[in-house]
Amino acid sequence: MVHALMSVSRIPTRQRIVNTALELFASKGITETTTRQIADFAQVNEVTLFRHFGNKHGLLLAVLQECLQKYLVLAQVGESLMVSDISSQSDLRRFLKYYIQSSLRALESVPELVRSLVGEAGQYPLESRQALAQGINQVNQTIATAIHDVLINSRLQYSLPPIKLANLLNTCILGYAVITLTSDVQAVWRDRDEFVSTLVDMFIQEVNPISQARPINDISAETVREILLQAKKCGAKDYAIAYLLFGAGLTALDITRLRLKDYQHQANHGILLTRDATGNERSVPLNQKILGHRYGSATNNPLSAYLKTRKNELKDLKDLKNIEEIALLILSSEGKPLSLEEIEQLWERWTQPYRNLNGSPLTIDQARHTWCLEMLSRGIDVDSFCIISGIKPNELQAYQTRLNQKLAIDKAIALDS
């Protein structure tokens, strides 16, 4: 007894109260535990408890923060032991399984605390809920860092950013724990192993090896201006196609699929509706400014000028068999559907005088690269950019890396001015 009292006396009063409250909350539940009981077991006066924590909810908040901090340390230690040893998809599976099982064991070790938290959540003051959310976010951030390192070490990529992946993973874990401790879990899952395996499989199937990133090779603003002038000299159709390449970031294949009805106007801006081979559609704004130079307005631009040249075509249409061809936005010189080969030939005609820094000829893909970098440099958010460009999130890093390179060069040049 003397030994116990000496041990208690070595622990600071506040920490002793938190430790005692955690034990009682975990064994009896929050509702059934009183502040008097906590004070008695902690060998302090109840007034001392109130002086440190204000009330029972304040004490509960301190207990939860203590649990989260301990969990945070365990998570950091666990991931540091495993991440350095991970180099494949099977290792990623092992890491996820380890983390999910460890998390469930931690939650299931305090069943009454979890049950009480669920049952009494509506009674917590706002500051307690906010503090709890902040603690959970800390855990999510720690696991997100671990997941990021695992993916890098394994040469893998995931469609979601690591923080969203961590949020989703922990939400699933917490949800299963709540179901387990408050209802008949076997009505949903046969056992915990089945849940863990299913959750791991769900995440693993969305993971892909990192492919060799293709270089992003854009074209300078001065050269783009010259290319557009060359296209303009070649005629209205050439100018319209060049405008679509640099003003909307379309591929040559996108252009061949465009129909008259796909060109619309919204709020003084031109909008193009494009579709891929499977029929998936996306809307793309047709920029009036390209790399700082204005090319008309929504209703008076290189594309609208080309369409004016086709008015007589549409009026004089008599052969209904050709209606589908005429309905295309841009036609070939012979009035037939535009082919990829013809667009490539036009591109070579406009760009023949120009070369990349390594001496290679400019490719038509570089027009799209240039448009993408311009959109990102203007400050468009990543989600919106992926929507209008059709670029997948896991392909975005190469564009962001190239943009950072350009910005770094511009800053270095500015120092010399």
Q: pLDDT digit string (tens) for 106-120?
A: 788 777 777 777 776
CA dist 235 → 270, 305, 335, 352 (Å): 21, 10, 15, 17
Q: Phi/psi of residue 264, each to 5°? A: -130, 170
Mean pLDDT across the stretch 286-297? 92
Do strands 281-286 and 269-275 pair parallel, antiparallel, or not at all (unpaired)? Answer: antiparallel
Mean pLDDT across the stretch 283-297? 92
Distance of alpha carbon 417 from alpha carbon 412, whole angstroms: 9
| Residue 309, both tokens | 């040249």
Give residue 12's Cα distance to chain centre. Answer: 45
Q: What pLDDT score does 7 carry?
A: 46
What would the pLDDT profile of 15-26 be if each residue is shown by its tens digit? 899 889 888 877
Task: Name the least confident of 114-128, 149-163, 373-387.
Answer: 114-128
What would the pLDDT profile of 34-88 be if each residue is shown by its tens digit? 999 999 999 999 999 999 888 887 887 788 777 766 655 555 444 444 444 545 5
Q: What pLDDT score does 80 carry?
A: 46
Mean pLDDT across the stretch 153-173? 82
Q: What pLDDT score does 272 carry?
A: 93
Q: Which residue in the block uniquely carries the two structure tokens 């724990």?
A: 177
Are the C-beta atoms of 224 and 242 separated by less than 8 Å? Answer: no
Distance of alpha carbon 258 from alpha carbon 205, whole angstroms: 35
Mean pLDDT across the stretch 113-134? 71
Residue type, 53: F
Mean pLDDT across the stretch 108-134? 72
Distance of alpha carbon 380 from alpha carbon 374, whole angstroms: 9
Are the C-beta atoms of 116 and 88 separated by less than 8 Å? Answer: no
Q: What pLDDT score does 121 carry?
A: 64
Which has the higher per-residue pLDDT, 158 or 86? 158
Q: What pLDDT score does 237 carry?
A: 94
Q: What pLDDT score does 116 carry?
A: 72
pLDDT of 326 strictly over 80: no
Q: How confident is the model at residue 2 (pLDDT cuts 50, 70, 90)?
A: very low
Are the C-beta atoms of 283 and 267 separated by less than 8 Å? Answer: no
Give this prediction's pTM. Answer: 0.51
Which has the higher per-residue pLDDT, 416 or 283? 283
CA angle 11, 14, 16 (to 5 degrees): 45
Distance of alpha carbon 400 from alpha carbon 2, whole angstroms: 66
